A and B are shown apart, each in its own frame.
Chain A
């Protein structure tokens, strides 16, 4: 394990995972907000919004994430000159967050929508019967119950998101997979140790995350 006794290498390793952590955190928030909005659109009584939600899901769920992240870089940044920061790393980071968010939002939307289907029709009827608007019925009654029903599948989506964040390496951010490649290139004799340290780091963070979501799903479940 000589590779990891070199402080420059450690720095590469730590920086790589810090990027993954930041990408995951920001894209989780982005995907959750967008996904809930999209789910709201898909069940709304307004055809234009329903169409928009459906189009979003069909587009981003069926496009490879690599292509979406490429598009953020070459399309939004290079062609359309969308500059999010003077610092190139920070700029690529935010482009990555956009790509990860719009992609993951499609999956979050569909999970929430399946959650909405678990909420009995009577819940929304009772809400409407006391005079709630569509938005109130959705945000106060239906979505809170739908969200609780899909905590576990949302957990899987966010775990996938954390791993998908490595794709932002393709547009030049030194996140963990790029860091691993760099270390392997410089230390050809230590491929396996390097690989297992990087893979193991993901596992150490993500396995407990999975259990945490499972525990949360049980705790938040709505008793009927």
Chain B
């Protein structure tokens, strides 16, 4: 599935929150069509890494390129880049004053200037795909967390992005709703979507990832194919982390 052509390249990325050094010389390359799962303990900088890729979090040093272009600092160029990189948040962040259908249609119409009729058709088929078509006229607050997160994925897909970023997409969900969201993500991964997924779902990492990246204390400690990583982690930090989560 991987075509060995880097789409996202981070080189020597550093990020400080005041005195806190949250990303320390992180270098990572994600190929087109690759699914990279980022795992690690809380506070390891994995969410910041994810948010840095579409510059929701500006970096303090190093470089990030997307599709061969360095990340624009601001303005129209940055907006255009963001429109090509979908993002799914931990807290869904559906537009609370818009219906489900409007949430999905807003980006293509307002950002891309596409025709409403064509967008509606695409939006409905995306909602169909994530299993929410029947709720299209409802408001976000009327949906369960799992449903909202599936709409958020549809909203990101409506922009026909080159890559999708997931920032702990299932961490705010009730346990019984995690599966429905992971199912959608797994099917996207199978279809060749380039994905960077920050998550604690080891099952998803095993099943859908091409590569697992382990972060701790702001550093990218090790990366490997999931089977290899889970069977024989090399670093002590990763061994320690896995022993804590996999023994239950």
* A→B interface (CB under 8 Å): 120, 122-123, 125-133, 136, 140-141, 144-145, 148, 222-224
Contact = CB atoms under 8 A, between A and B. Distances in A.
A145 B139 CA distance: 14
Contacts of B54: 129
A130 B111 contact: yes
Contact of B93 (A125, A131, A132, A144): A125
Contacts of B89: 122, 125-126, 129
25 contacts: A120-B91, A125-B56, A125-B89, A126-B87, A126-B89, A127-B95, A128-B56, A128-B82, A129-B85, A129-B89, A129-B156, A130-B83, A130-B159, A131-B79, A131-B81, A131-B83, A131-B111, A132-B79, A132-B110, A136-B111, A145-B97, A222-B96, A223-B139, A223-B142, A224-B96
Contacts of B112: 131
A141 B139 CA distance: 14
Interface in B173-198: none
Contacts of A122: 89, 91-93
Contacts of A133: 76, 79
Contacts of A136: 110-111
Contacts of B159: 130-131
B150 interface: no
A130 B96 contact: no
B111 A132 contact: yes
B155 interface: yes
Contacts of A145: 96-97
Interface string B116-157: 000000000000000000000001011000000000100110
B97 to A, nearest CB: 5
B41 interface: no
Residue picked from A123, A131, A140, most chain B C-beta under 10 Å: A131
Nearest to B85: A129
Given A122-B93, A126-B89, 12 more contacts: A120-B91, A125-B93, A126-B95, A129-B156, A131-B84, A131-B159, A132-B111, A133-B76, A136-B110, A136-B111, A222-B96, A223-B139
Interface in B69-105: 76, 79-87, 89, 91-97
Interface of B: 54, 56, 76, 79-87, 89, 91-97, 106-107, 110-112, 139, 141-142, 152, 155-156, 159
A141 B142 CA distance: 19
Contacts of A224: 96, 141
A159 B206 CA distance: 62
Contacts of A126: 87, 89, 93-95, 152
B141 A140 contact: no
In the A-B complex, the 3 residue pairs with the smallest Cβ-Cβ separation, listed nearest first, are A131-B83, A223-B141, A126-B93
Nearest to A132: B111
A139 to B, nearest CB: 10
Contacts of B82: 128-131
Residue picked from B76, B93, B139, most chain A C-beta under 10 Å: B93
Residue picked from B92, B94, B96, most chain A C-beta under 10 Å: B96
A63 B94 CA distance: 42
Contact of B107 (A125, A131, A144): A131
Contacts of B107: 130-132
Contacts of B96: 123, 145, 222-224
Contacts of A129: 54, 56, 82, 85-87, 89, 156
A130 B141 CA distance: 21
B196 to A, nearest CB: 13
Contacts of B110: 132, 136, 140
A52 B172 CA distance: 41
Contacts of A125: 56, 89, 93
Contacts of B142: 223
B155 to A, nearest CB: 7
B17 to A, nearest CB: 15
Nearest to B141: A223
B107 to A, nearest CB: 4
B42 to A, nearest CB: 19
B106 A123 contact: no
Nearest to A133: B79
